[in-house]
Amino acid sequence: MATTAAAPKFQPVNTDGSYGESGFWSWMTTVDHKRIGTLYLYTALFFFIVGGIEAGIMRWQLALPNSHVVSAQMYNQLFTMHGTTMVFLAIMPLSAAFFNYLIPLQIGARDVAFPRLNAFSYWVYLLGGLFISIPILFKTAPDAGWFGYAPLTTPQFSGGLNIDFWVIGLQILGISSLAAAFNFITTIINLRAPGMTLMRMPMFTWMSFVVQFLLILAFPAITIALVFLLFDRFFGTQFYEIASGADPLLWQHLFWVFGHPEVYILILPAFGLVSEILPTFSKKPLFGYNVMVYSGIMIGVLGFGVWAHHMFAVGMGAVADSIFSLVTMLIGIPTGVKIFNWIATMWAGEIRFTAAMKFAIGLIALFTIGGISGVMHSSPPADTQQTDTYFVVAHFHYVLFGGSIMGILGGIYYYFPKMTGRYMSEKLGTWHFWLTFIAMNLTFFPMHFSGLLGMPRRVYTYDAGQGWEKFNLASSLGTALLIFATSLFVINFLWSRKNGAKAPNDAWGAATLEWSIPSPPPDYNFAQIPIVTSRSPLWDLKHPEMTAGIAHSSPDAMTITDSHAVPMHEETEYKTAKELGIPMPFPTIKPFFAALGIIVMFSGLIFIHLDKFAIAMAITIGGAVLLVGSLYAWLTSPLE
Amino acid sequence: MATAVTHEAHEAHDTHEHVHYTSTGLDNRKVAIWAFIGSECMLFASLISTYLIYKGRSRVGPLPHEIWTSPSGQIFQPILNIPVTSASTFVLLMSSLVMVLALAAVENRGKPGYVGTLLGNSKFWLAATALMGATFLGFQAYEFTSFVHEGLTIKTNLFGSSFFTLTGFHGAHVTAGVLWLLTLLAIDIKRGLTPKDAILVDICALYWHFVDVVWIAIFTLVYLIK
C-alpha cells in the first residue's frame, strides 16, 4: 500500500473497490475486466441466494411426510429452477467472475483481448438470467427438470409457456458463455506477459483455459438440441415427435454430450482456485505442476466420452454401456491424481489455517466423497438401482456443493483482499466454514440412505412408513443450518467491503503476478508489464531462498518482443493511465444495447404462443434491428 | 477495431504508433476466429448427425432419394434435384477462390503487378465473392420454394424438419458472410482497404472458407450419398 507520502493524488478508491468514476452510468458502460468480474460476482451471488431459497422451500415441503407447503405443480417449477439457477446462473457465472477478474492479472495483461465483447457477455447473462428466473413469480416457471427431457418438453406434453421460457432463456445464456469463451481463449493464448510460457501459467488460468475449450465444444450441442425444441414448439417441426418416427433418445444424447462436459465446466475452475490457495498457505510450490496440467486436460478430453453414463437406464445395450462405464471409471484417475497432488502440496508445508485454506481442504474431503459415489454409478448394474433416486442427488451435491461451491467460497475469501483492498473477517469466516461443512454433510449425507431405500427424486411429497422420514428430516434441518451459515457469509462479505482490516498488495504471501500490484488493482493493472522467468515470480523476488532449487530462465536469454516490459518488480504507486501514457478502452453502452437486442428478439417468440403473431413479428424484428444496429455502431467505433 | 478512426484517437494522446504486443505475434481477431470455427464445427456436427440419424425414419414422404406413394395413391418423385444443387455448389466453391484473390489484392496493395490491374482491384473481388454467395442463396431460395410446391415443408416429416433446419442453418451462415463481405466492400469504397487492414479481410476469408467446407460435407452427405 502506498504510504501517506505517496498518497494517490488523482481519483480516490471508490467504496466498491474500483478506480476512477463510480455511479450507475459508469457500471453500465464499463469495459474493465475487473469491474465486469465484480458485476458477475454480485449477480451470481444474488442468483445463488435465489437458488438457495428455492431449495429451502423444497426441503421445507419434504421435511415431513405428506406435507403440502407448495402444490405438485409449484414443486416441479422449484426443482427445475433450482437446478437451472444453480448450474447456469450461479456456479458458471461465479467461475466467470474469477475468469474475468483473475485471468488478465495472472498472465500479466492489461485487459482481456476483447473488452467490449466481455461487457456484452455479462449483459446477455444478466438479462437472460432475469428472463428465465422471473416467470416463477407468476407461477409459469419451467417445470420439466433442468435437463428438460424431450419429448416431455414437446407441445404435446408441455403446452404452456413454462418450457418456452426455459428454451429461450438457455439459448440466450449459451450466447453469453460462448462469447466469453472465445474472449478468454484469445486472451490466454495471446496476451501473456513476456516469459509467461504456457507451462508457467498459474494453475487457475490453466484450468480456466481447459474450461473455455469445453465451453466452445460442448455448448453447440445443446444449442442445436434447443433449436430443435424451439422449432418443434413454435414452427411445427417433428424432431421430438415420436409418432412421426423421431428417436426418443435424440434429446438425451445431444443434451448429455453437452451436459457431461458441463459438469467439468462447473468443477475445474474450483480445482484451479484450490490449486492457488493450497501452495500459498502451505508455503510450498504446487506439487507436480506438470501432472496437474495434464490431468486437467485429461479430464477435459475424457469428459467428452462419458455422456451416456447418464443414460444407462434407457437400455442402450451391453456394448455401449460397457464402453461408457469404462471411460467413466478412467476419468477417476486424473481426478484422483489431483486429489493426491493437493495432499502432497500440503505435506510438510508451513500450513496457515485461514478461512480460504479451510474451504480448500473442505473441497478435497467432500469432493472425494462425491467422486467415490460417482465411481459407484459408473457401473451400469449399480447405476440402474440408483438412477432417479436420492442417491444420485447426494452424489452430485457432494461434487457441486462440496466441490464447486467450497472451492469458489475459498476463492472469494482468498481474492477478496485483492478485489477490495480489505480482508474478510477470519472469525466469521471460520464460523461460516464449520457451519457450512457440518450443514452440508447433514443435508446431503442422509440422501445416500433415503436413495438406497428407494426414495425417488423429484417427488413433491411421500407417505410415511417407508423408512425415509428421519433421513428427510435430517436433510431439511441441514438445509436450515446451511441457510444460516450462508447468511453469515453474506454479512461478512458486505461488512468487510468497508470495515475489514486493510490488506497490502500481497495479502497472503503468494507467488503469482496478481499479488505484485496494488489492492484493488488500478484500471490498467500493470504500469509496467513484468518479464516472467519462472512459475512463482513473486516468490523469486521476495523469497529467493524458497525458489532457488527451481530452474529459471534469465530475462536476457529470452527474446523480449514487448519493448515496454521490465524485469519482475512490485508496483506500489498509483498513477493514472493518462500519466503513464497507457491507452485505455473507452467506456461504451453499445454492448448493453446489443445484449438488449438479443433479449427483445427472442422475447418476441413468446407472443407466438399467445396467438399474437403480428406483435411477435414486430418485437422480433425490432430486437433484430437493435442488435444489428448496436453491433455496427460498436464495431465501427474505436476501442481506445 | 482497427479503423481509420482508431488512428485519429491515437494521435490525440500519443505521437508514437502504439502496436499491441501479443504472445504469439498473431492478431487477437485471428486467434478468436479460429476458436469460433472450432465451435462452429460442433454446431454443424450436431445438425449433420441428427440428419443422418433421422435418415430413413420418416413415416411419410416426400423423401430425398426414394419414390413415395401416399395412402391416397399419389406418387412423389425423389425430391432432391442433384444437377441444380451441383451448379450452386460449384458457384459457392469458386467463391472461395475469388475470396483468396480479394485478400491478395488487399495484402499486396501498391505492389508491382497489382497496381492498376484487375488482380489488385479488391473492390471487384469482394463484390464478386458477395455476388457468388448471393447466387448460392438464390439457388437455395429456389430449391426451398420448389420443395414446398412439391409438398415438402419443415412440418411434413422428419426428413423435412432435419433437411430444412440443416441447410437453413448453412444458408443463414452464408447470409451473414455476404453481409460481412458487403460491409468490407463499403469500407473499401469509403476509404480504401490497405495492407494494414488485411486482417479484416483475412478473418472474413477464414469464415467464408469454413462455410464452404461445411457445404462440401452437407452436399456429400445429404445430396450425393443415397
Could you say which of B6, B39, B50 has the minimum Cβ distance to residue A217?
Answer: B39
CB contact under 8 A, B160 and A638: no
Q: Is residue B22 part of a domain?
A: no
Q: Note the pLDDT tens digit of each residue in A504-550.
A: 999 999 999 999 999 999 999 999 999 999 999 999 999 888 887 77
Counting the structural domains of chain B, the total is 1
Residue B35: list chain A partners with CB under 8 A.
181-182, 185-186, 216
Residue B25: list chain A partners with CB under 8 A.
561
Could you say which of B24, B50, B162 has the minimum Cβ distance to residue A190?
Answer: B24
Q: Is residue B168 part of a domain?
A: yes
Higher-confidence position of B6 and A311: A311
The pairing of beta strand B68-69 with beta strand B75-76: antiparallel
CB contact under 8 A, B46 and A221: yes
Q: Is residue B96 part of a domain?
A: yes
- Among A131-135, A557-561, B40-44, the minimum mean pLDDT is found in A557-561
Q: Note the pLDDT tens digit of each residue in A574-596.
A: 888 888 888 888 999 999 999 99
Report residue A17's pLDDT band, with 50, 70 and 90 as the boundaries.
very low
Residue B23: list chain A partners with CB under 8 A.
189-192, 196
Query: Does residue A219 sit in helix, strand or coil?
Result: helix
* Average pLDDT of every residue of chain A: 92
Could you say which of A224, A245, A581 has the minimum Cβ distance to residue B158?
Answer: A245
The pLDDT of residue B16 is above 70: no
Nearest C-alpha neighbor of A412 from the set A119, A50, A44: A44
CATH of the domain at B95: 1.20.120.80
CB contact under 8 A, B28 and A236: no
Closest Cα in chain B, distance from residue A273 (Å): 24
Q: Is residue B44 part of a domain?
A: yes
Q: Which residues of A are catalytic, by number?
A: 82, 111, 146, 176-177, 260, 262, 264, 275, 309-310, 335, 338, 457
Contact A227/B at CB under 8 A: yes
Asked whether A545 and A532 are in contact (CB, 8 A), the reply is no
Could you say which of A191, A236, A635 has the minimum Cβ distance to residue B155?
Answer: A236
Contact A561/B at CB under 8 A: yes
Q: For residue A562, give the chain B residue with the closest CA.
A: B21
- Cα–Cα distance measured from residue A256 to residue A222, given in angstroms and rounded to the nearest whole number: 8
Residue B26: list chain A partners with CB under 8 A.
190
Residue A640: list chain B partners with CB under 8 A.
6, 9
Q: Note the pLDDT tens digit of each residue in A454-499.
A: 999 999 999 999 999 999 999 999 999 999 999 999 999 999 999 9
HSE of A535, CA atoms in CB hemisphere, 13 A: 25
- Cα–Cα distance measured from residue A115 to residue A121, given in angstroms and rounded to the nearest whole number: 10
- The structural domains of chain A, with segments of one domain joined by +, span 24-525, 594-640
Q: Which of the four CATH numbers 3.40.50.80, 1.10.10.1100, 1.20.210.10, 3.40.50.150 does domain A24-525 have? A: 1.20.210.10
Closest Cα in chain A, distance from residue B15 (Å): 11
Which residues lie below 8 Å from residue A110, measured CB to CB, with a gap of 6+?
A: A104, A524, A525, A526, A529, A582
Specify which of A12-21, A207-216, B190-199 reaches the highest per-range mean pLDDT.
A207-216
The pLDDT of residue A5 is above 80: no
Residue B22: list chain A partners with CB under 8 A.
190-191
- Cα–Cα distance measured from residue A156 to residue A233, given in angstroms and rounded to the nearest whole number: 9
Residues of chain B by 3-state class (helix, strand, coil), percent to 5: 70, 0, 30
Contact A559/B at CB under 8 A: no
CB contact under 8 A, B36 and A636: no
Contact A562/B at CB under 8 A: yes
A542: its cell numbers: 521476495
Which residues lie below 8 Å from residue A228, measured CB to CB, with a gap of 6+?
A: A150, A237, A239, A240, A250, A251, A254, B50, B161, B165
Q: For residue B180, give the chain A residue with the closest CA.
A: A632
Closest Cα in chain B, distance from residue A183 (Å): 7
- Give the residue carrying C-alpha cell 480516490: A12
Higher-confidence position of A178 and A578: A178
Contact A564/B at CB under 8 A: yes
Structure ipTM:
0.93
Q: Is residue B8 part of a domain?
A: no
CB contact under 8 A, B28 and A190: yes
Supply the pLDDT for residue A543: 87
Report residue B1's pLDDT band, with 50, 70 and 90 as the boundaries.
very low
3-state secondary structure A269-298: HHHHHHHHHHHHHHCCCCCCHHHHHHHHHH
Q: Is residue B150 part of a domain?
A: yes
> What residues make up the domain containing B59?
27-224
Asked whether A88 and A173 are in contact (CB, 8 A), the reply is yes
The pLDDT of residue B204 is above 80: yes
Q: Is residue B140 part of a domain?
A: yes
